[in-house]
Structure 1
Amino acid sequence: MSVDPKARLERLAGKIVDFRLRPPTGPYRTFFTPNVVGHVNRLLGHPVPRSYSISTETGPGSEDRALAALLREMDSVGVRLGVMNGRHSVNRPVPVHIEDKELAELTQRTDNRVLGLAGIDFDKPMTEILAGLDTAVKELGLVGVCIEPGLARTPMYADDEKLFPLYERVTELKVPLLFMSGPLAGPDISHTDPVRFDRVARRYSTMPVVLGHGCYPYVKEAIALAFKSEVTGLLNVYVSPDVYVFAPGGSGYVEGINWLPKRFVFASAYSFMGVEDAVRDTLALPLNEDALDDYMYRNAEALLRSAQGGAAQ
């Protein structure tokens, strides 16, 4: 299949939505260390994003300069919006907490170019978690929720009954739920088995479920889950493979996007890959044009409309 990446870039300019973009600021910088970011980018055949490198510089103003560089990078390849997620990673030598208020502040600092998904701190009682979701969506203006049950102090699977009240509240709030899946989603890769997410998506059939990192390495199984969502008419599962499109076996996602274009969502997973590199490499993939448009922005816009009760920003 012959494609013209340059023509595609011109056509998509100012439309693209990056559904997993972690700005190089504050706690994100603590979580995504230079060693980790450098190693992942090398595995993907790219240099560390310039905006991330700026954030590691000493001296005043480096964070502001890094944010400005990130926005320029987004502009250079037509990315209109980014979506960032809160997280509470406690099973680390130095725990990292990316709070909802920090996300709201980053949205303001980027002139609404990067929107936030509320994180879940499983060290808190469920009543406090649910109240926090109300605050995040109704008061702070966050556009969804991100959940990482396999990274809790006591790891859980996505279909653990203890999580059902949380899913019920997300359903009531009418916002999308982004799961962290993939090989790093828990102490072992059973935490990314699509059957867990299948059970949640069927039980809460009106809740949009986005599978960040595409359940890699379960590529075929993730596509099967998307197919099931499509043919049953539930239409609530979205696979977001991000950098794993370019990993061994990731070509299966490309086939899946062409086959089920309404069930996939583009993301760079910045800073694991630069926004510019992710867009340019994606536009070179053998995707048909209509499927490409769905993947790069239409499906994400539909998810954001569900959260905002109207047109996406």
Structure 2
Amino acid sequence: MLIDFSSRPPLPEFSPAAPHLSNYRRVYEASETLSAGSQAARGLDGYLETYERLGTRHVVLKARDLSTTFGFKIANESVADFVKSHGPRFIGFAGVDPYQADAVAAFDHAVNHLGLRGLNLQCFELKMAPDDARLFPLYEKAIELDVPVNIHCGINFSTQTPMSVGKPEYLDNVMVRYPELRAIASPPGWPWVQELIGVAWRHPNLYIGLLAVRPKLLAKAHSGYEPLLQYGRTILKQKMIFGSAFPMMPVDTAVGEMNSLDLSDEVRKLWLHDNAAHFLRLAPGNEAVR
């Protein structure tokens, strides 16, 4: 069984114009070209059929509100409408603009009225480090609502924002202040992978999202990702969560590369399903024993 923690449907409302991400298109050109020819990219029917064929339990879709910084928005309403239209397989995370006075209220509305089940903070697009005090009310609301938060971690390729905002040390500051917060660092921290491993090891409620990175790189010498494989199949095996990051990568390719890693059946099941189920507080469904 599979849970994909990161995906975007091939619909206009999920892909508005994003000039601030133009450098991403250069960096990910090869994998996005491959993705464009995949079954999931062949319209909405192909996208839905891909997840059906793979036996996917859930797919997480994330809103983003960058109105103040970049005039970009994947609306909470668009995510909620998709989830409502396409059934319980899809789970939505909210996106709010922390520069706006109503950010906390918008987050509360997204959860309590739209049915979204988490918060997405792409901090480099917000031009804030994760430990910026302007985000504290959102973390406090997430704790109150008992929903998880996805926080961007690691390098970003938007040259309009310093890459330093993605350092795991800022997440450490957040988790020290809010140890009860359920959070996931994704992508998995490159080029500060070992630092992220240390932070995740320290904090019981911090997970690592294996998304926006080719899974095969975890086994490639000198890639910088190798420690994720070493620690992720041992002391952090219950912290690793898979996401395809479609359309940055074909869903089938990401799953295939994950299945090709040297993992035990127990650990593979944790990475591909059970850890995400635990993080999302899903109803029990043949999860590995903890």
Same fold per superposition (TM over 0.5): yes
Alignment partner, residue 250 of structure 1: 225
Alignment partner, residue 247 of structure 2: 271
CA distance in 1, matches of 2:256, 2:138: 37
Is residue 82 of structure 1 aligned with residue 59 of structure 2? yes
> CA shift at 1:256, angstroms?
2.4
Structure 2 residue ranges without an equivalent (≥5):
218-222, 286-290
Q: Is the 8 A contact 2:40 2:50 kept in 1?
A: no
> CA shift at 1:117, angstroms?
0.3
Relative to structure 1, the CA distance from residue 282 to residue 44 in structure 2 (aligned partners, 3 Å threshold; closer, same or farther) is farther
Alignment partner, residue 241 of structure 1: 210
SS at match of 1:166: helix
Alignment partner, residue 296 of structure 1: 272
Alignment partner, residue 12 of structure 2: 26
Q: Percent identity among equivalent residues? A: 25
Please list the CA deviations of residues 189-217 of structure 1 after superposition, one character each: whole Å capped at 9, or x if unmatched.
21111010011112111111101111222
RMSD over equivalenced CA pairs, Å: 2.5
One-letter amino acid of the structure 1 residue matched with residue 5 of structure 2? F
Alignment partner, residue 116 of structure 1: 92
Q: Is the 8 A contact 1:171 1:206 kept in 2?
A: yes
> CA shift at 1:23, angstroms?
1.3
Alignment partner, residue 232 of structure 1: none
Alignment partner, residue 173 of structure 2: 199
> CA shift at 1:29, angstroms?
2.3
Q: Is the 8 A contact 1:27 1:96 kept in 2?
A: no
Count of aligned residue pairs for this structure pair: 273
Structure with the bigger percentage of helix: 1
Task: List 4+ stretches of structure 1 deviating above 6 A.
Answer: none
> CA shift at 1:21, angstroms?
0.9
> CA shift at 1:262, angstroms?
0.8
In the superposition, the TM-score normalised over structure 2's length comes to 0.85
> CA shift at 1:279, angstroms?
0.5
Structure 1 residue ranges without an equivalent (≥5):
1-14, 55-65, 230-234
CA distance in 2, matches of 1:51, 1:219: 32
SS at match of 1:116: strand
Q: Is the 8 A contact 2:5 2:242 kept in 1?
A: yes
> CA shift at 1:76, angstroms?
2.5
